[in-house]
Amino acid sequence: MNEHDSERIAGLLEADGMHQAEDEATADVIVLNTCCIRENADNKLYGALGNLKAHKQNNPNMQIAVGGCLAQKDREKIRERAAHVDVVFGTHNVDRAAELLRQAHQNGPITEILEATARADHEAFPSALLTRRELDYASWVTVQIGCDNSCAFCIVPSVRGPEMSRPFGELVTEVERLAKDGVSEVTLLGQNVNSYGRDLALARRQAEPTSEDNYWCGETWLTDRRARPLFADLLRAVGSIEGIHRVRFTSPHPKDMRSETFAAMAEVGEVCEHLHFPLQSGSDRILAAMHRGYSAERYLQKLNEARATINDLAVSTDIIVGFPGETDQDFEQTLEVAAQARFDSAFTFVFSPRPGTEAADMRAKFVDHKVAVERYERLRIVIERSSRAANQSRIGQTEEVIVEGPSKKNPAVLTGRTRRNALVHFAAPQPLRAGTYAQVQVESAGMNHMTGRFIEVTMLPRHRKRIAVSAL
């Protein structure tokens, strides 16, 4: 979500006459778009601001802006610790970034933080803003903002506000425009993406039917006017748009995952066979303390249903180790569930208390950091074992990859990503532009990537290659 917001901010600055600088030292404007999910983000921000202070002393006209979730949460703290910051803005006024920089240039430092309730529905999304996409062939598409859940460890509801879905028709129109621009892969974004549209359907169901219902909730809902999530309908609609070859989404919540979403993933060929399915813990006691709304058994039931419905499905997850009150027995249960689940990959974290969350106030139950780290290492071994096994099971198979560019470690080799979201390194007999689709046969595999033999190009990129132009 923050990466997508950063693209919007970059688009606004370019529309205001700026262009990307070569490095920080030569920049006139530097924007730090922050996240506050984990404590390390705070440390990174203030470390970066400390380094930028020297640049600003050398160039007093340089402007520094801090936006995003951490700015929404810690507006006063940023001002106290970094007086050299010119602009502080939050998550609900991304569209104001360029204007705030202009105001600060004229009038001095400015802080503008809005709450979600301060904006009309159509203004709460940066969707109408210009975007400078990092990838010409792929794009993020925000389908909702905010979250109505109350997970004890999560700060997102506080900094992003309540759940709010974008109109169905607006999303379809945006993806159609992206496809015409040469984008072939879209990733649908939401804090709780698979509950998309439930708020829209409830609001329209309570009102008298009008000609606008199709725009707000989609054509399928017109014949099934329940107050239900519209995510499966959205997958089908986006997948049917000409030019879109791959559809991904992140991140769903297991408690809201429905059979109709699995069915749409299985039936719509453009939807990739990859499901990010956050577990967080394998202990029912800890899941209840986290307010996750499901048990380990229910999680595994839904996971088994997904695999039974969607052929060749890859599954990734999130797991927190050392949540307050976690015992050795609780952690053993997490290991057992992780082993049963056979995840293709996982983002694993040692619990990090975020001020403002319920879990941060559970200090009496905090797990000793050394114990948490030891548990983390044991979990890592289980995850690495299943990740390596998943990749090695692909040896000998032919995979469709989308070329991302040269490998960071070996520029002579290309990196591609499969539909199952796995990386494949391979050599090609000719240069291939990023966004090219190709067939590659997997020859070997490790934990984090596979290597393969190039077979053929199956689809050339349709986007135009950008060429930097400077005004003289």
51-73 pLDDT, tens digit per residue, is 999 889 988 899 999 998 889 98
Q: What pLDDT score does 363 carry?
A: 96
Residue 198 domain-assigned (yes or no): yes
Q: Is 71 in the same domain as 150?
A: no
Residue 197 domain-assigned (yes or no): yes
Q: Is 321 in the same domain as 359?
A: yes
Q: What pLDDT score does 26 carry?
A: 87
The per-residue pLDDT of the chain, averaged, comes to 92
Q: How far is residue 298's CA from residue 293's CA, in Å, rounded to a whole number?
A: 10
The DSSP annotation for 204-252 comes to HHHSPP-TTHHHHH-TGGGG---S---HHHHHHHHHTSTT--EEEEE--
**Domain stop point among 338, 373, 392:** 392
Q: Is 308 in the same domain as 333?
A: yes
Q: Is 155 in the same domain as 100?
A: no
Q: What pLDDT score does 2 carry?
A: 82
Q: What's the pTM?
A: 0.89
Q: Is 75 in the same domain as 131?
A: no
Q: Is 135 in the same domain as 229?
A: yes
Residue linked to tokens 């921000």: 45
Structure tokens at 294: 């499901």
**Domain stop point among 56, 85, 118:** 118
Q: Is 153 in the same domain as 20?
A: no
Q: Is 384 in the same domain as 408?
A: no
Query: What is the pLDDT tens value at each position of the chain, 472 positions in all?
Result: 888 888 889 988 998 999 999 888 889 999 999 988 776 777 889 899 999 998 899 888 999 999 988 899 888 999 999 999 999 998 888 889 999 999 999 999 999 988 765 544 544 555 555 566 778 999 999 999 889 999 999 988 888 889 999 999 999 999 999 999 999 999 999 999 999 999 999 999 999 999 999 999 999 999 999 999 999 999 999 999 999 999 999 999 999 999 999 999 999 999 999 999 999 999 999 999 999 999 999 999 999 999 999 999 999 999 999 999 999 999 999 999 999 999 999 999 999 898 889 999 999 999 999 999 999 999 999 999 999 999 999 999 999 999 999 998 899 999 999 999 999 999 999 999 999 999 999 999 999 999 999 999 999 998 665 544 444 3
Nearest to 37 by CA among 4, 70, 7, 13: 70
Residue 24 domain-assigned (yes or no): yes
Q: Is 82 in the same domain as 125?
A: no
Domain that holds residue 414: 398-459
Q: Is 385 in the same domain as 367?
A: yes
Q: What pLDDT score does 470 carry?
A: 42
Q: How far is residue 276's CA from residue 261's CA, in Å, rounded to a whole number?
A: 13
Residue 356 domain-assigned (yes or no): yes
> 446: domain CATH number?
2.40.50.140
Residue 467 domain-assigned (yes or no): no
Residue 437 domain-assigned (yes or no): yes
Residue 154 domain-assigned (yes or no): yes
Q: Is 371 in the same domain as 230?
A: yes
**What is the SS3 assignment for 402?**
strand
> 355: domain CATH number?
3.80.30.20
Q: What pLDDT score does 143 carry?
A: 95
Q: Domain total for the chain?
A: 3
Q: What pLDDT score does 131 carry?
A: 64
Q: Is 234 in the same domain as 340?
A: yes
The strand pairing partners of 444, in sequence order, are 451
**Domain stop point among 368, 392, 416:** 392
> 45: domain CATH number?
3.40.50.12160
Residue 423 domain-assigned (yes or no): yes
